[in-house]
Structure 1
Amino acid sequence: MLSTKMITPKTQGRGKSYIYAIDNNRDPVVMYLKSLGSINSQSTILKALFSFSKWYLGKPKISPQEIKWSTVEYSDIVDYQRHLSIGRKLQPATVNLYINAVKGVLNKAMKISKVEPINKVTRETYDEIGEIKNAKGKRLTKARAVSAEDQHSLFNIIDNSTVGVRDKTILYLFLKCGLRLNELCDLQYPRDVDVINKVLTPIGKGDKEREIPLGTEAFACLIKWIREVRGEYKGYFVCRVWRSGELKENEPLSHSGVRYILQKCIKIALVQTFSPHDLRRTFGTDLLRKGVDIFLVQELLGHSNPATTKRYDMRNMVDKRKAIETI
């Protein structure tokens, strides 16, 4: 066994604190995961590494720590890339993510001076593997922006109960503030919610804080949530609610909990299904549709590159549909 604590499939989703609790500076898998900037990144890369360990060792649910990384060769990575592209038919971007996850561990296995001998990767091997090119190609995105009609239907089916006010607050934080799912779940009051200046300051990817001014409708909804339901206590801004309507103070919503709430709203409103991130895309698309400069939209979304913001622009499909309707 390579570590006193082994990473298992259950580690996924348990957060950065669990990874950091594994005290082993000789394990390239642990050291690579620790180098990542966020819990979400760790979870994504961990999934990719379990995929590789299952393929490489031929056993399901086996930890990537069980791999003798010194035995991984150029031909293995080429075969694995082909398996992902042809065998599993994954999108090129996903293939590249999985391959780069393996390269990340190999990099640590080369650089860490105290690495176990069975994990030590030579510079020659790493450079050879590093020359493997990314998979090329592009697939049409399945992402979408939620139409104004669907948004109207969603808000119409929500009542003024405790759960209803909470659910409407969630929709406004996505649609009118452009929060990421993890930003919404981690939002703290009053630290991140300034009701005096009407500004949100979520902490996003890379531990970067940004300012999002609150529009009139969003501010009114958040004030209703605070004054009529939530209260002024310090802690998670959006919390869980008992079936009786009683708040579970300082018990944050989980990612799956938010998805459940949205699916419930979708089912009742009879609208086309969407993901939490589609609501964030809708925020970006609506701003661009109103002529807001893309660099300002980039800042509001917390993107480090305007090219990422451009991918949030769903206006082309709307325009295509309108064009087709004319013939």
Structure 2
Amino acid sequence: MYDGCHRSWCRPSEAASDRLDGASTARDNEKKQGSSVMKLSEIYLKHFASNDSRIRVAYELANIAKLLGLSNVDEVDWERFERADVIELMAMPAVRCRKPASQNFTLRILKGLCTEAYLNGLLAENRLEAIRNIRNVRGIRQTSRTVPTMNDVSAIIADCEKDGMIGIRDAAIFAVAVGCGLRRTEIVNLRTRDIDFEKHELRIIGKGNKERIIFFSESVSSKLDAWDKLRGNDGSAYFFVPVHASGRLLTCRRMNDETVYQMMRRRSMEALNRVVSPHDMRRSFASTLLDANVDLNTVRIALGHSDIRTTQIYDRRDEIERLKRISAIAVV
């Protein structure tokens, strides 16, 4: 059913339809022009400021193409693509099995690509408006993971510090993640000049190219300082850099955020026998502030959220206390 070659909006071969001869000729002319003709997907990706965002969106575009039965999204025939095709894709089991937020991310990327197709004269305005009016998936899912406690984090860091130079680096990453609530992309983009050890201050450039200042504790400072002494001032401006298997620092480039993600999963499994992700560290940071009765707006600023409703998702204190009272109900 979902074979891309049979979809109404998938470009057929030239022999399949004589009426598309004109379009085929236009495509042949594009090929003759060489690499100077930029693909629609390339134009769309240029809207994203950070390299990490472009990587994530490019991955999602590839996933969308796979669901559509295409080798890439540039094969879509925009003259035929319409609202029903988007609804059909969003109803596919491979999409419906995801969390609502993940489904909405796919829908947002699709809408953005359709907007780019319209702006480039490929998609009719009435079809774009119909696609834009597709509603987001409603609902939320409660995380099944337990927020790491400070004892958990201490155990992970202590285990890291037994592992030489790379362990010192990983301990510093865990410390800044749980002590400052940084996203993994913010961790790998942290530059040496953005750390003020005297003021215990970090300058962070977060989502949407927004800057914020985070202050860190003495314990976080000690972990950062230990890595800073090993890292030195050579190479790139990034604070966290890869370490070769031989133990040599690769100071010419920064770490990849996927490396941070996999490292945290591996280190936590070794120390706690369960997986902890960078976002779990961020939840732990938020929970620590909320438990200390820091007001929600301050937590919002510290996390770099634009909308306080996003921060409210982290605040389940009253809800949990109310739900715990159910256990006191005597049935017999």
TM-score, length-scaled by structure 2: 0.78
Give, in angstroms, the shift of residue 312 of structure 1: 2.8
CA RMSD of aligned residues (A): 2.8
Q: Deviations over 1:182-205 (max 9, x none)?
A: 11112111x211123221112111
In the TM superposition, what is the alpha-carbon distance from 1:323 to its structure 2 partner? Answer: 5.8
Partner of residue 82 from structure 1, selected from 77, 82, 91: 91
Q: Give, in whole Å, the separation in 2 of the partners of 1:203 and 1:218.
A: 19
- What stretches of structure 1 of length at least 5 have no aligned partner? 5-21
Question: Given the alignment of the two structures, is residue 230 of structure 1 paired with residue 240 of structure 2, yes or no?
Answer: no
Q: What displacement does 1:318 show?
A: 6.8
Distance 1:147 1:324 in 2: 25
What is the CA-CA distance between 1:93 and the residue it aligns to?
2.3
Matched, 1:70 2:79: yes
Contact 2:148 2:284 in 1 (8 A): yes
1:27-106 alignment runs, 5 A limit: 27-56=39-68, 58-59=69-70, 62-84=71-93, 88-106=96-114
CA deviation vs aligned residue, 1:137-183 (integer Å, no higher than 9, x gap)? 33223454212331232133233632332121111110101111111
Paired residues, what number?
A: 297
| Local SS of the residue matching 2:253 | strand
Contact 1:163 1:241 in 2 (8 A): yes
1:259 to 258, 261, 272: 261
| Alignment correspondent of 1:277 | 279
Contact 1:145 / 1:314 at 8 angstroms: preserved in 2?
Answer: no
Distance in 1 (alpha carbons) for counterparts of 2:316 and 2:166? 31
Aligned residue for 1:201, secondary structure, equals: strand
TM-score where L is the length of structure 1:
0.80
Residue 181 of structure 2 is matched in structure 1 by 178
Contact 1:24 / 1:30 at 8 angstroms: preserved in 2? Answer: no
SS state of the match for residue 273, structure 1?
A: coil
Aligned AA for 2:186? E
Report the 3-state secondary structure (helix = DSSP H, G, I; strand = E; otherwise coil) of the residue aligned with 1:133. Answer: coil
Distance in 2 (alpha carbons) for counterparts of 1:323 and 1:152: 31
Counterpart contact for 1:153–1:271, Cα < 8 Å:
no
Give the secondary-structure state (helix, strand or coil) at the position aligned to 2:251: strand
Amino acid at match of 1:104: G
The answer as to 2:115 corresponding to 1:107 is yes
Deviation string, structure 1 residues 244-294 (Cα, Å, up to 9, x no partner): 544332332222332343233223313431111111111111111111111
Does the 8 Å CA contact 1:240/1:251 hold for their aligned counterparts? yes
Identity %: 29
Is contact 1:144-1:282 (8 Å) kept?
no
CA distance in 2, matches of 1:263, 1:91: 21
Query: Which has the larger Rg?
Result: 2
The runs of at least 4 consecutive aligned structure 1 residues that moved more than 6 Å come to 324-327
